[in-house]
Amino acid sequence: MAASSEARTDEFGALAQLGVAELRSAVAGIGTIHRSVSGTVFGALRPVFGRAVESPRMVHDAASEGAYQSLGALLDAADTVTDALPTTDRPISHTARGALLLGILNGLIGDELEATRSPLAAPMSLRVGGEPVAVETSALRRAFPDARGHLVVFLHGLMETERAWAIGGRETYGSRLSADIDATEVQIRYNTGRHISDNGRDLSALLTDLVLLWPVPVTRLTLIGHSMGGLVVRSAAHTAVEHGLWWPKLVTETACLGTPHLGAPLERGVHVLSSALQGMPTTRPISNLLRRRSAGVRDLFHGNLTPADWADRDPDAWQHPPGADVPLLATARHLFVTATVTSNPDNPFGRLVGDGLVLAPSGRGEPTRSRLGLRFSDGLDIGSAHHFTLLNSDVVYRWLHANLRPRRALPPG
């Protein structure tokens, strides 16, 4: 497995510095809310008590400002200490717990991390055992000694990493498929805080190199995405077709597990809430915190797939028009799975909350089924399941296996 620049970065030090910076920002926000509330209270007391409120107000202001300045000085000192922290032998991102932490962090502010060139920003990469694998023939041969011509590529969802497919410590879909249908599991990690279209572009480039440099000739590609991962797959295929790339011709199936093709209600709710809180000084810091959510999260308002969907648009504008009408890859079969927390998908509560994060109609592409090319016969609805159940479920695996296993050729007749 090739050494990477990531292995030489001080992720621990960068994480410590980020923690101090976030604490400083939190203290500033609390201070703003405190001043607004105290100003309102003392302002309401003035008509009743007159100048008598001035002395208590001066004491309050002096004490609170002193406390905030002391906290600021303490955080400045802590920031200096983090600069001297030693580099760890193994990057945090290579460990299971570290990957979980950084996956969440990338989902929340991954676009900021990338913009500042933080070592905490996860570049799109192949991963084996949590460690990156260079897309070079020699590195691929070492990482995949039993490489097969059928690649099953897995894209995780928002705030996840490739380790999410082994949720609960269970064997992944990919490892089971490798044994059952003579395929090779390929796991991808990416920064879910970036725009979906940026990750789609990078996935397209990675698949171009992977198909070219794979140790054996690639005869078949299957792309499987959980949640946002399904949108990244769609964006990558669209980009590749636009640029006349070869790899889409090898794709026989895509599978979207709990993918919000038409957007996610949680992002819409946060957008409305942040707009409502922006109008009052007391709640504006909370609104500003909500507005820090990443570009990737914001793309889930409508499920945006192309740069034109977000370029030159105010992300905080009240109205968000739908993005470009991007069809699915015309030469492949497109499988999809939706879930509801109720045992009966038609239960009114199940229809209201879906799998907890994605509504079933969005996962099916309704009411634009004909546009997306999704067919009822290619879908699976499961009940008594939540969004993360879809990462590792025997029910889903049996369905995937039945749809991905090689088909026997019909005898000549």
Average pLDDT, the chain: 83
- Lowest-confidence region among 42-46, 96-100, 178-182, 296-300: 42-46
pLDDT at site 350: 86
- Lowest-confidence region among 51-65, 118-132, 390-404: 51-65
Higher pLDDT pick, 232 / 44: 232
Q: Is the pLDDT of residue 324 over 90?
A: no
67 band by pLDDT with thresholds 50, 70 and 90? low
pLDDT at site 81: 45
Q: Which range in 57-66, 117-126, 220-229, 369-378 is most confidently predicted, on average pLDDT?
A: 220-229
385 band by pLDDT with thresholds 50, 70 and 90? very high
What is the 3-class SS of the chain, one letter each residue?
CCCCHHHHCCHHHHHHHHHHHHHHHHHHHHHHHHHHHHHHHHHHHHHHHHHHHHHHHHHHHHHHHHHHHHHHHHHHHHHHHHCCCCCCCCCHHHCHHHHHHHHHHHHHHHHHHHHCCCCCCCCCEEEECCEEECCCHHHHHHHCCCCCCEEEEEECCCCCCHHHHHHHHCCCHHHHHHHHHCCEEEEEECCCCCCHHHHHHHHHHHHHHHHHHCCCCCCEEEEEEECHHHHHHHHHHHHHHHCCCCHHHHEEEEEEECCCCCCCHHHHHHHHHHHHHCCCCCCHHHHHHHCCCCHHHHHCCCCCCCHHHCCCCCCCCCCCCCCCCCCCCCCCEEEEEEECCCCCCCCHHHHHHCCCCCCHHHHHCCCCHHHHCCCHHHEEEECCCCHHHHHCCHHHHHHHHHHHCCCCCCCCC
Q: Is the pLDDT of residue 86 over 90?
A: no
The predicted-structure confidence for 266-308, as pLDDT tens digits, reads as follows 888 888 888 888 888 777 877 877 888 999 999 999 999 999 9
The domain ranges of the chain are 5-89, 107-263+323-404
Q: What is the pTM of this model?
A: 0.82
pLDDT at site 87: 54
Average pLDDT over residues 377-388: 94
Q: Is the pLDDT of residue 338 over 60?
A: yes
| Integer Cα distance of 272 and 260 in angstroms | 19
What is the CATH T-level fold of the domain 107-263+323-404, as seen in this structure?
A: Rossmann fold (3.40.50)
Average pLDDT over residues 48-62: 58
Average pLDDT over residues 319-347: 89
